[in-house]
Amino acid sequence: MTSLGTSTALATRDDERIAAALAGIAPQMWFTTDSFGTRAVFVWPDEPMLLADVCAMFESFGLRLAAHSRLETASETGQAHEFDFGILTVSAPVLDLIADAIAASAAGRWRIDQYARLVATAGIGWRDALLVRAACRFLEQTKLGLSQAYVIESLVRNPDFVRAIIALFHARLDPATAPSDDSAARSAVATLVEQAATLDEDRIRRALAAFVLSVLRTNWFQTDAAGRPKSYASFKIDSAQLTARDAVVPYREIFVHSDIVEGVHLRSGAVARGGLRWSDRADDYRTEVLGLMKTQSVKNAPIVPMGAKGAFVLRSADTSAADGYRIFIQGLLDVTDNIVDGSVVHPRDTVCRDGDDAYLVVAADKGTAKFSDLANSIAAEYNFWLGDGFASGGSAGYDHKAMGITARGAWLSVRRHFAESGRNVDTDDFTVVGIGGMSGDVFGNGMLLSRKINLVGAFDHRHIFLDPNPDAEVSFGERMRLFALPTSSWGDYDATKISSGGGVFSRSAKSIVLTDEVRTRLGITASQCSPDELIRALLRAPVDLLWNGGIGTYIRAATESDIDAQDPANDRVRVSAAELRCGVIGEGGNLGLTQQARVDYALGGGRINADFIDNAAGVATSDLEVNLKIALDTGVRSGAFTKASRNRLLEGVSDDVARRVLDDSSNQILAISLAAAQANYLLERHIRLIGNLTAEGGIDPTVEGLPSKAELKKRAESGRGLTRPEIAILLAQSKNLVSQELLASTVPDDELFADRLTAYFPTPVAEAAPDLIAAHPLRREIVATAIADEQLNRVGPGTIFRMQERLGVSTAQVALAYAAVRGILDLDAVWLDCLQREVDEGQRAQALLEIRELVEHLTSWLLRSRRDNATPQVSIEQFAGSVRKLIELTRSA
């Protein structure tokens, strides 16, 4: 190409500027315009960009190159180039904006893409274009249903709207001007929304306007240590204000966006916790997290925080997972309050359009198992009040894999399912198909919890393992060896320990030959099949137990499509619940089945609870760890403890923590069994409870996987009640609602329940730090949760609401009356005695149901007859002696 003509005066000024730019360290670019047209001079102090890349960059701004030439300079390392565009209609101010944007890109401050066109068409700066990109990327995750290219074309055609939406963002959230009256900016945007010419334009404009209006906080105006805007943006969002909403609507979410990483953190309540995962679903990671958050919300019912979940994806192949995680964590902390000397402190340079919000706790998840210390180090950089309680686990926390806590909790469900069918997992051999590998926490620990396991097959993302007729003791030893071998796979399994006809096969194999032994074990006739077909055969195998310790949704209902499972990676291997031939399913992993698949499997006679029940012990352990650290770290700051003595105390109570968590899980599983035993009798009570949870708890029965009115009518006519997975939902959501109603009352402050706070903590901690526990910032939440958890486990879901309907009393009044009955009967001792008796599970269940009926009757009697507002303690003192004498007489008769 050849250069167009230029004036001598311009050339002279360029020479001086070029010389200065070559002496610098960053590339520089500027435009000049004269009668010959517009040209750009680009100076690189070192190696220049490829010409093709420069041309593509200019075209991103709508500029097409007419000619190019290299300019002569005295530099030995740098280069200067001239790019001519001919006659342009672009104004000088816009050219300056483009030059700034290109310079910022050359300096690595942003990545030029299609959104760069907005710099030229709307006359906005590159950071404003970046802001629009962030908003549109978020909307893409909310299922707006329009491609990014389509959205950009709409915005390019409507520069007035682009400028108006940016002005609204600044009016609401720029700390230099806000809080100010943003009514004019709102009105301008609303007018332009109404002026949209097409339905799609209207959707785009409404979605962007709703995004800006939903943002409660942002780090957009915060700066880094060098005083420059941060290289990533985070937005705290009131999800209910968005126009594109899913069936599950978070309480709050934080969206983090940058050129190299992007992610979202969703919460179902103000005090919420859950894991952060490295997602491989770049196009729909928010959908992935919504499902996980929903599960976490019911899983967290027995603990203080509500459910939360987060995920990030990498947008650059040059970025490590740890670096992406760091940016994601920073983005979350940037818009989260801190607590300093007991007072809430808002983030600097941030407009907060919400109340105080300092509770942010995260946990490890898929791809982030080793990142807890990293997360806590970042929290330390922010001087975040939770310290290393910010991310549970880590070097000074509880190692879930070493404790085996999640698998042990899920195994309680397996144990009960077998016990209720007259089998003992410790003494009776049973066959298993598994999802996962021995190096994994949940799968590996789970497959070592009984020496009677006959693992006939398993699969993970790498291999398929087949052992059609295993020797239980030999295979147990080999599994133990693999579990102890770091990063082991099924490929490391000793082939000599596999029974005849078995083997280990790669999932990338073209086909797999099936032996007679394998065909017999799996109940199939094919002589060979693909790896995907073999996995489906394993899932459908006639075994005693299907143990899910992996990642993915492998089972849907027959009435659902693979789209309903929301896990495209496993569409090829998924089966329907109607095809299952296993007797029991243990859900150590999350989302192995859709909720409807669980219900269908249970209706077909299968024994199953739900993932949020089976694997709840892990999250309960993390929550107890965080609450221990909150209490003890206050002592560290005051000098009552050193960090070392705190850590020794935490380590010393690890077994106590595990015991408490497993006891709580066992009680919850038992509560489901007791309700399931009377499911037909309790159906009408459960139907009314669904209505109450819908009206007062804000649940959507369809989203929760609860039966429709038509289905409930069919169940009533056929004499069938709710299934265990459905009862699990009612139990968890009832706990959530009752906890919130108790928090809104004075019950957590009543001296009658003071022991609940102390009892929550391991005895050595309670004795070492009584004052710190009494001053715990979550003491009311801990007490309310403990009351709700115990009461609902004992009386079952629906009983409290039944008393409210029949007697016109509040949840708080029921809790006080139940506390009186608990004391009068010495209920803890009576309940424990029943659990420890050597009887079969049917007899045990009947005895517990009789106790439950007595508790319900006495609680109702107190509520009806004690209208004088007598305190529970007065009732206990009045009746306990006589009742206990009567109990002793009955026992001795």
What amino acid positions are annotated as catalytic residues? 309
Calpha distance 658→654 (Å, rounded): 6
The closest of 800, 825, 836, 786 to 664, measured between CA atoms, is: 786
User: 791 with 753: CB under 8 angstroms?
Assistant: no
CA distances from 692 to 525, 797, 799, 804 (A): 51, 11, 12, 11
* Residue 36: partners with Cβ closer than 8 Å, 6 or more residues away: 4, 5, 6, 7
Paired with 338 in beta bridges are: 345
**What is the 3 state secondary structure string of 665-703?**
HHHHHHHHHHHHHCCCCCHHHHHHHHHHHHHHCCCCHHH
Paired with 584 in beta bridges are: 545, 607
User: 455 with 490: CB under 8 angstroms?
Assistant: no
| Backbone torsions φ then ψ of 270, nearest 5 degrees | -65, -40
Paired with 312 in beta bridges are: 263, 278
User: 133 with 148: CB under 8 angstroms?
Assistant: no
- In angstroms, how far is CA 883 from the centroid of its own chain? 48
A 10 A CB-CB count for 30 gives: 19
Calpha distance 592→777 (Å, rounded): 36
Helix (H/G/I), strand (E/B), else coil: 490:
helix
User: 139 with 211: CB under 8 angstroms?
Assistant: yes
Calpha distance 627→631 (Å, rounded): 6
Tokens coding 536: 């489906």
Strands (E), 1-90: 28-34, 37-44, 67-71, 79-86
- The β-bridge relationship of strands 575-576 and 555-556 is parallel
Looking up tokens 């929304």 gives: 193
| Backbone torsions φ then ψ of 87, nearest 5 degrees | -85, 120
Tokens coding 232: 């990533």
CA distances from 185 to 161, 166, 169, 814, 860 (A): 11, 9, 9, 51, 57
What letter represents residue 576's amino acid?
S
